[in-house]
Structure 1
Amino acid sequence: MSDVFAALPTQNLLRRELKVISAIGAVALLSVAVWLDVAERWYMAVFWLLPAIAIWCWIGWRTWTSLDLNRAALQAPLYPALGWGNRVTLLRGWLIALAGGCLSIDLSAVPVSWLPAAAYSLAALLDRCDGFLARRSRQVSLLGGELDVQLDALGLVVAPILAIAQGRLHLSYLLLSAAFYLYRWAMQRRQALGLPLYLLPDNPLRRTLAGFQMGLVAVALWPWLDAEFTRVAGVAFMLPVLFGFAADWAVVCGQLSAANYQRLAVCSQGLFQPGLRLLTAIVVGLVLPGLAAAGISALSLAVAVVMLSVGFAGRLAALVLLLWLGGFGVAVFQPCAQLTLVFAGSWLLMLGSGRASLWGWGDAWVARYDGAR
């Protein structure tokens, strides 16, 4: 009992800081609404403010109910302040609320058409900063890890809906948005029924794939690439994550052993990813002479495919291939070839080029994922 009373002053400090942050965020959202009122119409400002404030209130409530996790471990003492890592995480939440306000307004209206893309892109970039700041300030907390996961999931609901509304992602991408919440609900349901929950092996690829989803959605919100390309790429990016959820669930339920779970990664590295490199080289090799004969500059495409074939900076080569497809490929490639290359390039970008690669440039940076806590 004495430990509980000893922790109360620290809890009060945390609650006071959260109240201040919540108030600042609410005032900032009101300021944006005033700007919309001046720039456009008062009713647009109201329609924008309602969902934005609702999302910000939800973030504040989730943080308030989780303040007891603001500690390094369950038995460790509470930190007396949220720390810079959690503050940046809350800033990410505020940016998601800023973008979420656009759910109820016409995105073709000036000057708000760029607002959700800019807000979510900045939130995605900051996702690599909060964990880094927490470690640098020596205040890594359970709260930070929980908020990070919750806000990643929230952002991958709000931003895809906005992209779907603009026709830049396919409606099926919402399967990914629902997967996290369905997975959490199923685990709680299984626990409530008294069924066993088996330990899930550590897999850095989970965070890597989540980071790529945020990057994809941020890019899709901007009108840089062809909308048909981003819709197809969205499906390609989504499938490995859904497969990961299914594999994780099979482990949690005891239907897949940890050893077999690890074998999936070994098979992917040894067979699937090198096979994708070979498939990409074959498809481009078949159409490249025709592209050159048509007077289309295909040098960058050829270089990217050669790099992919030998696994030289494979992720960078896959990114170049995708950007080429998004800029020129829609008008050049036949639909079947385009689909094959988009899916292969997307999976190589996310998973890496696999075994027998000359140089895995960027693989260590992607796997490290500075934002993880």
Structure 2
Amino acid sequence: MAEQTKKWRIVAVRRLSEAQLEALSEVAEVDYFEDVDESNHADFMTALSKAHGLIGGKLELNEAMLAEAPALQVVSTISVGYDHLPLGALNRRGILLCNTPDVLTETTADTAFALIMATQRRLVELANMVREGGWRAHIGAEHFGVDVHSKTLGIVGAGRIGAAIARRGALGFGMPILYTASSSKPALEQHLGAQRRELNDLLDEADIVCISVPYNDDTHHLIDAHALARMKPTAALINIARGKVVDEPALIEALRSGGIRAAGLDVFVEEPLPSNSPLTAMDNVVTTPHIGSATHETREAMAQLAVDNLLGALIGCEPINAVNVNVWRRSASDDKET
């Protein structure tokens, strides 16, 4: 008996395991790309032109590409952030966008706290000193770091990840917690003693400022030269959000001039970070290559959630995590009326 023709076509890019690809292949024709670059972009577009679903990490998609994909119904990104995707165009086309929050919350909060510890205790700088043979005598005050416990931690954006960072600081290190948010967070205030502040007040008071907001027009350069000037000269800035939330040249100047003491950065305006960036040569900066969710367990869970989102949406179930869920509901309503 000939194999039954599959109803859907799916384009998959990066980060999917063999088991996840097999699950997709059971219900759809799947075109899988380990990566998409100039050498195979034409093949990718040919596949996309027939696809009902698109899934992957670091998806490159724009309005012109969408115009070449008339059958596309669902885009499932293996990420929480979706600023790299054209949400307005997806909405206009009625294409559902799904993402993967929750599963990376704790891992990303771990990364933030690793950066806090590294900047406060100068871990990378001093580890490099030992590796390079520079430890020849007992260390003196010129090598001392700064305590983490009991310092005031300011969380800019108290969503899931921001709240997880706050829990680590308050419960693990006895840190007073300040936070910014569009509305009060009673759970944080009740269980952690957190206090809500306007951004400028938080910057004035915090010893460590941790950025955990989504990137959009409102948060572009939220931390600019003016904001940095409000911070204590002894303060550290931690960014695990998106590079463009921070005015990078202004940050470099503040670090050079002593406007702030240190920075721990997992995200940058340009990624990968250029090797000639001044940030790579600063002893008071810890840079990591966007590793917020980069553990085996978390990346597997993110990919699985993206698969579940995609398959659920294609078969008509309300997705677990939809960015523009009204698109799905409108489509479902239209189907009932017809």
Establish whether TM, by shorter chain, passes 0.5: no
TM-score normalised over the length of structure 2: 0.26
Indicate the structure whose relative CO is greater, using CA pairs within 8 Å and at least 6 residues apart: 2
TM-score w.r.t. the length of structure 1 is 0.24
Structure with the largest fraction of helix: 1
